[in-house]
Chain A
Amino acid sequence: MAVVAAGTMAVAACSGSGSGSASSPGHVSSAPGLAAVTPAGAKPVSSVAWATNRDVISLDPIFSAGYPEYTADSLMCESLLRQAPDGSLQPGLATVSNPSPTALVFTLRPGVRFWDGHPATSADVVYSLDRAADPKLAGYYSGRLDRIASVTATSPAQVTVKLSQPDYWLEGELSSMPGIIIEKSFAEKQGKNYGTPAGSIMCTGAYMLKSFTPGVGVVAVPNPHYWDPSVHPLVAQITLKGVPDITSLTAGLLTGAIQGDYGVGLPTLGQLKGSSAVRVDLGPGWSSDVLEIASFKGVLGNLNVRRALSMALNRQAIINSVYQGAAQLPRWISNPGTFGYGQSVFAQAYDSSPVLTQNIAEARKLVQQAGDTGKTITFGTTSQQAVVAGVTAAYQAAAQAIGLKVALRSVPAQNYIDFFVSPQFRAGVDAFPAADYGDYADPAALLAAFDLPGGSVNYDNFNDPAITAALEQARTTANPDQRAALVIKAEELTIQQLPWIPDVEPDTVLVLSKDLTGALSSTAYLFSPWADQLGGTG
């Protein structure tokens, strides 16, 4: 996950049995006016410079860990299953069937080829999945594939995955980084160099790698042998360039030196919205801006204090001043953009849940009843990252308004991620703000990470038996609507128990030069080809 700007941390995986999620497009998001796609490009374009928030550090999907790597991999590589712009799971390089609750059969589409013209076979699929699951390679996703018992090629175009127990989150995982199929013979030849600047990669996407030079960027060009004849890449060259400096990025977008960016938590959004050089599109988001609770041993161990803090938070101020309007008031932890299956079931339950609103008087009373007035709460924060600093300030005001004392543990921006990974670093901190997302559109992907015992960001052993039961049952439930109902139960219990406190639900922000169109505008861009329709405006 990423710290500041956002993070990925799902342990879990997801969704649907049948790839046919009953999608009713109107229900993707409860926030009206958020479109998951922009109109397809109509004209060829010679080159596009696209910014990422830092340099890409690896193109190997098993070492892909943040926005830049996701953006690069999903531009050029494809997974077994594909996340549609609305988050529903669709066939990708393969279709999937479930002959039994503990078996998945992937059938490769006919005609799928790698960039070098070699056909993709079941051997490549077995190799890619084994590689992602192998803890010895130190990849980042082996833990999420822990229910896979075996992966076997059952015919040249068919792979059977046997599970130790049913896992309906696995298809979601296999629609993201661990599901990316790479060419076995090529990867074996590259060995440790695969995906590094010294080496190369071999994937199947409509854009293929031309060069990967640290400091300069990742350059992709159209793949002339793309297997899907309905896709015609329009951009002759896409350069992904790391631009960590906000002033530089903003100036680049305003002057056309940078033509596109997914602006996560961009403090200059207001300035860009008013510019004649770029257009800002807001789409459904999958990330949640939350207060991650690091310890229940301090004042936040008391549920009434957590509720009071949530109740005292001025969320509209965060939306206005921190997100420049590009976020929604929450009802649950999860962003409604994550309803990738069982949409109508999710939407109905979500719409009937109350919006979290501010009530300071009530909140003060809760703290008094708890006998915690005057106690100190310690927030982890960094003043060097606008979103974190802004949200911390809102929590500081909320805590003081309800009679708590506030201490800040402020660290340099680059150390903020250490709150997520290091218990020593978190010691003495009660909570810290972050934005988190799962790697596919399922609220359970995020919930599992902090609600479940052993979850990757369940820092202080939170365990609510009812929530755990609902999530575990969801993981083994085939029917999407029934699964959605179980996840809804977990969401409703989570918002009661508040192991994390939701702040706001950020939108996906797409900043695009006025003469370009066609990029995805939902968070699916992190995991699906986002530039296949990108081109000049008509």
Chain B
Amino acid sequence: MLLASLLVASFVIFAALYLAPGTPLAALSGGQPLPPGSVQVLEQRYHLNESFLAQYWYWLDNALHGNLGISITLRENVSTLIASRIWTTAGLVLYASLIIVVLGIGLGIVSGLRPGRLDTGVLVVTAVSAAIPAFVAAIVLIMVFAVKLGWFPALGNGTGFLGNVKHFTLPAVALAAASLAIVARVTRASVRQESDREHVQTAVSRGIPAHRVIQRHILRNAAIPITTITGITIASLIAVAAVVEVAFSLNGIGAYLVQAAETKDIAVVQGISLLLVTAFVVVNLLADVICAVLDPRLALRDRPR
């Protein structure tokens, strides 16, 4: 399953990049027209003068042997280049996921259980934040919290754990904002829906304490849609992270993917894409497993993946 996804993705991405206009040599030389001799040597070195299928096969053969190839622009192993940046993206996505899970689910539960002013407030705030794209959120956060207030740094990774946390806070919030709103709303709706179910009403009328009703009858049942939506949004964060990384000048694999695609550095694009596809599949699989644990009726093999 995963292998099939990877193979198809690698072929489609390779083909798309091959068909896109431009040549990696243009980016390599910054658009400076190169001496014809140099062009010839470089095309030979990177197999750029061969057919599409030959180039793809050359890449695939190496990849199957665990060699992701060499970046044309940096003349360095792709795996080394990705490894040095992967923790930035992992840290950012993890931080944002934490915000989504704690704040998104938390707000959703509270506003689902307590109709009234708080609920209305959450609805308004989530409506706004769901509509703000990550790059806009990034600009607003930078201008307010970095430039005007000076609470957080405007760019870069920082050093040490505390430095990282400080540098990653604004990016993580920018990344989490829209997904957080969606998770909060879905949580609120499912909590509301479960609260109105007959067995819950019955339990309440029989005088079972509120915390037990909430825990055992409402949250337990609402947990399945909540887990599914959280899984999907977190998986999608991995792709959106690119936008945030660029806006905050973080050296993650998302920003690197953008840069590599712009310069047609095909081995790098392939390497990062495969990693993203894998992460996406794994996160969704995890969500499925959690759902199955929460509800034994859902046999894992019956669920679409």
User: Among A13-21, A37-45, A411-419, which stretch is in contact with chain B?
Assistant: A411-419
**Minimal beta-carbon separation of B30 from chain A (angstroms):** 3
Most buried by A among B22, B85, B142, B256: B22
B31→A213 contact, CB < 8 A: no
Digit string of A238-252 for contact with B (CB within 8 Å is 1, else 0)? Answer: 000111110111011
* B278 interface residue (CB < 8 Å to A): no
In the bound complex, CA of A249 to CA of B74 (Å)? 23
In the bound complex, residues from chain A placing their C-beta under 8 Å from that of B153 are: 255, 257
Q: Is B130 interfacial (CB-CB < 8 Å)?
A: no
Taken residue by residue from 20 to 31, chain B's Cβ proximity to chain A (1 for < 8 Å, 0 otherwise) reads as 011101111111
Contact B37 A138 (CB under 8 A): yes
User: Do A414 and B263 have beta carbons less than 8 Å apart?
Assistant: yes
Contact in complex: B38, A142 (CB < 8 Å): yes
B32 adjacent to A140 (CB under 8 Å) = yes
Q: A418 contacts which of B23, B76, B247, B251 (Cβ < 8 Å)? A: B23
B45 pairs with A138, CB closer than 8 A:
yes
| A198, A421, A456, A457, most chain B CB atoms within 10 A | A421
CB distance from A231 to the nearest CB of B (A): 29
A454-487 CB contact bits vs B (8 Å, 1 = yes)? 0011000000000000000000000000000000
Stretch at the interface among B3-11, B97-105, B143-151: B143-151
- Across the interface, which residues of A come within 8 angstroms of B39, CB to CB? 138
Give Cα A520 to B233, complex, Å: 49
Q: Is A57 an interface residue (CB 8 A)?
A: yes
Chain A 245-271, CB within 8 Å of chain B: the 1/0 string? 101110110110110000000000000
Q: How far apart are the CA atoms of A457 and B31 in the complex, in Å?
A: 11
The answer to whether A213 touches B84 (Cβ under 8 A) is yes
Q: Which of A58, A67, A254, A456 contacts B154 (CB under 8 A)? A: A254
Which of A2, A196, A248 lies in contact with B249, CB distance below 8 A? A248
B23 neighbours in A (Cβ, 8 Å):
418, 421-422
Are the CB atoms of A214 and B29 closer together than 8 Å?
no
Nearest residue (CB) in A for B27 is: A417
B295 within 8 A of A: no
Q: Is A54's beta carbon under 8 Å from chain B? A: yes
Q: Does B41 count as interface, using CB distance less than 8 angstroms?
A: yes
Q: Which residue of B lies closest to A242 (CB)?
A: B249
| Cα–Cα, bound, A153→B274 (Å) | 52
Whether A192 is near chain B, meaning CB under 8 Å from some CB there, is yes
Contact yes or no, B26 A245, CB < 8 A: no
Q: Do B38 and A138 touch across chains, with their CB atoms under 8 A apart?
A: yes
Interface string of A146-162 (1 = CB under 8 A from B): 00000000000000000
A139 at the interface (CB under 8 A from B): yes
Interface flag for B129 (CB, 8 Å): no
In the bound assembly, the distance between CA atoms of A57 and B262 in angstroms comes to 14
The one of A66, A241, A413, A422 that contacts B30, using a Cβ cutoff of 8 Å:
A66
**Would A456 and B33 be within 8 Å (CB), given that A257-B155, A418-B22 are in contact?**
yes
> Which of chain B's residues 250-290 have a Cβ closer than 8 Å to chain A?
251, 255-256, 259, 261-263
Say whether, besides A3-B31, A417-B31, A140 and B22 are in contact (CB < 8 Å): no
Instruction: Determine the residue in chain B with the shortest Cβ distance to A64.
Output: B30
Which partner residue on chain B sits nearest A425 by CB separation? Answer: B21
Tell me the smallest distance from the CB of B237 to a CB of chain A, in Å. 19
Q: Does B34 interact with chain A (Cβ within 8 Å)?
A: yes
Encode contact with A along B133-164: 1 for CB under 8 Å, 0 otherwise: 00000110011001100100111110000000
User: Measured between alpha carbons, how far is A249 from B156 in the docked complex, in Å?
Assistant: 11
B143 and A251 within 8 A (CB)? yes
A521, CB-defined interface residue at 8 Å: no
Contact B74 A421 (CB under 8 A): no
Q: Is the CB of B21 within 8 A of A248?
A: no
Shortest B275–chain A CB gap in Å is 15
Asked whether, in the complex, the Cβ of B142 is within 8 Å of the Cβ of A135, the reply is no
B249:A252 contact, CB within 8 angstroms: yes
Let me know if B22 and A422 touch, CB within 8 A: yes
The CB with the most chain A CB atoms within 10 A, among B21, B41, B80, is that of B21
Instruction: Please give the distance in Å from B207's CB to the nearest CB on chain A.
Output: 58
Interface residues of B in 44-78 (CB under 8 A from A): 45, 73-77
Write the nearest CB–CB distance from A6 to chain B, whole angstroms: 10
Q: Which residues of A contact B85 (CB under 8 A)?
A: 214-215
Q: Separation in Å of the A368 CB from the closest CB of chain B?
A: 37
Which residues 250-308 of A have a CB within 8 angstroms of B? Answer: 251-252, 254-255, 257-258
Top 7 closest pairs, chain A to chain B, by CB = A215-B251, A417-B31, A66-B30, A135-B37, A414-B262, A143-B35, A251-B154
Residues of A with Cβ closer than 8 Å to B?
Answer: 1-3, 7-9, 49, 54-55, 57-58, 63, 65-67, 69, 135-140, 142-143, 192-193, 196-198, 213-216, 241-245, 247-249, 251-252, 254-255, 257-258, 411, 413-418, 420-422, 425, 456-457
A214-B74, A258-B155 are known; give 4 further A-B pairs, CB within 8 A: A135-B38, A138-B39, A196-B75, A421-B26
Q: Give 5 A-B contacts (CB < 8 Å), ordered by A residue.
A: A140-B38, A215-B88, A245-B249, A247-B247, A257-B156
